[in-house]
Structure 1
Amino acid sequence: MQMKSFMIDENFKELTKHQTVVMPIACYQTTINQNINGHIPLHWHDEIQFVLIVKGEAIFQVNEDWILVKEGDGLFINSGCLHMAQDKEQSGCVYICLNISPYFVVSQELYTTYVKPYIQATNLPYLYIDANEIWAKNILDAILKIYQLIEQKSQYYEIDITIQLALIWKNLIDNGFKLEYVQTEILKSQRMKQMLSWIHEHYAEKILLEDIARAGQLSRSECCRYFKRFLKCTPLNYVIDYRIQKSLSLLQQDDCNITEVAYQVGFNSTSYFIKAFRDSMNMTPLAYKKNKIHNV
């Protein structure tokens, strides 16, 4: 199954239900450039995520870090961490994505001892899974096995999946990663989510830097530092990029013209919307609209 669009709430939390049959997991294959945005947009979810790159290369952002993940390798993304992904130099990146409820990784009796400390650690937003390492290769093989089990649905495959999940987690924690818990890092993540949440809710309105900073309980200068650290851009540039993202689905509707779309997503002039769209998407909104409608 290819996920081409991400439903995200006002807190940038992904709304997709990560559930396959009766189990609180989802495992699917994704081609990054087939997403409606051309990349996987910034989001977060309660589930932990494992990624296995089966073709090409991908650049993932997790919180403020950017990670190049090569073909054959993978990535663990912890619960609650902001993340996004984009193709590396049009490599046609395809990856298997495995999302799991933290409560389903091991039995409830073992959750507090073997899972909770890891999803609460502030120094474990992600972990690179290098296929050259034995523990990592075990994880990658198990991800592929789970994907195949879901595709084939052989007898008792649900039980086989739970066995593979336990294997994945045992190899992850057996890696010997030293856990840390820093309250300031938790606060930084919360403030960034608050500011993104505010933008998500008010993107169609007039937005000032002061508004964004206030949402994160920060000064204007500190707000800019947060965005530079996490997203490598200014707050207002991010607003423009987000408005363009929101315009994509509207442009695919037959009954919306360019001017209507521009004002619906918060631009106060059609010409500025066209310029910003062209700078971001390398085509005009009209060209994008014609191309998408033609290919439906």
Structure 2
Amino acid sequence: MPVIVDQNMRERIAHEAAFFPVSYFENELSELPGWAGPLHWHPDFEIARAETGVLDYQVGKTHILLNPGDGIFVNRNLLHGVKQVSGNVPDPLPIVVFSGTLIAPETSTISQKYIVPIADCTSLPFIVFRRQDDWCGEIHDLMDEIFTCLKQQTGCYELAVQRDLNRLFELLICRLDALPKIQATRVQLRTQVRVQKMLDYIYTHYAEPITIADIAQAASISRSEAARCFHEYMDCSPVNALIRYRLQTAHRLLHDTSLTVQQIGLDCGFGSANYFSRKFRSFYGYPPGHVRDLGK
């Protein structure tokens, strides 16, 4: 199941087992229309790397271009998403989502000393590992090992992954003062929380008849403030964000289920099949039925 198209973008990152809180994803972009997914967030850390194409990784309202070989660390509970902007085939984009508890329990001295300073650093929403930067050499080696271990799952792979993530945090904490920071103002932090609350409402209630007033109420703000927040983070209106998510969900259902086009349109909150088809064609450039034609 693609990590960035889950119905509840905040909660539905499911690890293989509770005792080993790590999830590995690969080739997710190939399953997403336009090789792009909506903004989402989760309480875990994330590391990912561009392999063959150029990726636009959005973290908060910052866009980071990753060239082939560049990696990224995304801090927990932050809005983020990815879109491929160049390349003839979808990038494999290996992604690892993991809890800090894999390294140490939250109440432990190790966690307080080495995990929390990074996790709670509001000026460190992400860290970019450029392939050409000398200090990133060992980090890329660690990422190679982590990706391989999680993909192949041979031998004592859990211990190897835990060891490599420990070393990754050791390298980051030792370089913490030198890492580039983005100082977020209190207003920016508040805006991100508001966007998360409104997106959570959209992702939960997209199938229902909802208005911009409903979306704004989810964050206890006015409709004009809701519009400002969405334009700042998503460059669109709340209603457009709702329609976009409905269409992305519909595209997934067309690909993964045998439901009729009419039923999918209704299930995704569109009032009629004609309205659904018109919006779908306008957004993707082809009719809903074309998704199934491509899969034959």
TM-score range normalised by the length of the shorter chain: 0.7 to 0.9
Mapped contact 1:30–1:97 kept (Cα < 8 A): no
Match of 1:163 in 2: 163
Q: 2:32 aligns with which of 31, 35, 38?
A: 35
Mapped contact 2:4–2:40 kept (Cα < 8 A): no
State how far apart, in whole Å, the 2-side matches of 1:85 and 1:288 are.
22
Greater shift in the superposed pair: 101-110 or 275-284: 101-110
Match of 1:257 in 2: 260
Shift of 1:25: 1.5
Shift of 1:37: 7.1
Shift of 1:153: 4.4
Point out where structure 1 has 5 or more consecutive residues left out of the alignment: none
The AA in structure 2 aligned to 1:101 is S
Match of 1:112 in 2: 112
**In structure 2, do the counterparts of structure 1 residues 291 and 121 end up closer, same or farther at CA, with 3 Å as the change threshold?**
same
**In structure 2, do the counterparts of structure 1 residues 258 and 29 end up closer, same or farther at CA, with 3 Å as the change threshold?**
closer
State how far apart, in whole Å, the 2-side matches of 1:16 and 1:233 are.
26
SS in 1 for 2:132: coil
Q: Deviations over 1:173-214 (max 9, x none)?
A: 233236968654443222111111221222223222222122
Greater shift in the superposed pair: 45-54 or 184-193: 184-193
In the alignment, is residue 203 of structure 1 matched against residue 206 of structure 2? yes
Shift of 1:65: 1.6
In the alignment, is residue 218 of structure 1 matched against residue 216 of structure 2? no
State how far apart, in whole Å, the 1-side matches of 2:121 and 2:280 are.
39
Q: Deviations over 1:31-53 (max 9, x none)?
A: 51233674333221111001122
The AA in structure 2 aligned to 1:269 is S
Identical amino acids, percent of aligned pairs: 25
Mapped contact 1:8–1:14 kept (Cα < 8 A): no
SS in 2 for 1:54: coil
The AA in structure 1 aligned to 2:204 is E
Shift of 1:276: 1.2
Match of 1:102 in 2: 100
**In structure 2, do the counterparts of structure 1 residues 14 and 40 end up closer, same or farther at CA, with 3 Å as the change threshold?**
farther
CA RMSD between the two structures: 2.6
Q: Deviations over 1:51-73 (max 9, x none)?
A: 12222121111121221111011
Match of 2:86 in 1: 89
Match of 2:65 in 1: 68
**In structure 2, do the counterparts of structure 1 residues 133 and 263 end up closer, same or farther at CA, with 3 Å as the change threshold?**
same
The AA in structure 2 aligned to 1:263 is L
Q: Deviations over 1:101-134 (max 9, x none)?
A: 1122357331011111211222222121112223
The AA in structure 1 aligned to 2:74 is I
Greater shift in the superposed pair: 179-188 or 141-150: 179-188
Q: Give TM-score, length-normalised by structure 2.
A: 0.87
**In structure 2, do the counterparts of structure 1 residues 112 and 208 end up closer, same or farther at CA, with 3 Å as the change threshold?**
same
SS in 2 for 1:233: coil
In the alignment, is residue 284 of structure 1 matched against residue 284 of structure 2? no
The AA in structure 2 aligned to 1:133 is D
Point out where structure 2 has 5 or more consecutive residues left out of the alignment: none
The AA in structure 1 aligned to 2:145 is K
**In structure 2, do the counterparts of structure 1 residues 67 and 20 end up closer, same or farther at CA, with 3 Å as the change threshold?**
farther
Mapped contact 1:4–1:35 kept (Cα < 8 A): no
In the alignment, is residue 49 of structure 1 matched against residue 46 of structure 2? yes
SS in 2 for 1:40: coil
State how far apart, in whole Å, the 2-side matches of 1:280 and 1:115 are.
42
Mapped contact 1:57–1:91 kept (Cα < 8 A): no
The AA in structure 1 aligned to 2:291 is Y
**In structure 2, do the counterparts of structure 1 residues 188 and 157 end up closer, same or farther at CA, with 3 Å as the change threshold?**
same
Q: Deviations over 1:245-275 (max 9, x none)?
A: 1212433433x33333222212223322212
Q: Give TM-score, length-normalised by structure 1.
A: 0.87
Match of 1:275 in 2: 278
State how far apart, in whole Å, the 1-side matches of 2:219 and 2:253 are.
29
Match of 2:149 in 1: 149
SS in 2 for 1:246: helix
Shift of 1:223: 0.9
The AA in structure 2 aligned to 1:279 is S
Match of 1:130 in 2: 130
In the alignment, is residue 13 of structure 1 matched against residue 10 of structure 2? yes
The AA in structure 1 aligned to 2:48 is V
Q: Deviations over 1:127-183 (max 9, x none)?
A: 211122233222121011112233454544433322211221122223323696865
Shift of 1:23: 2.2
The AA in structure 1 aligned to 2:6 is M
The total of aligned residue pairs comes to 289
Shift of 1:76: 0.8
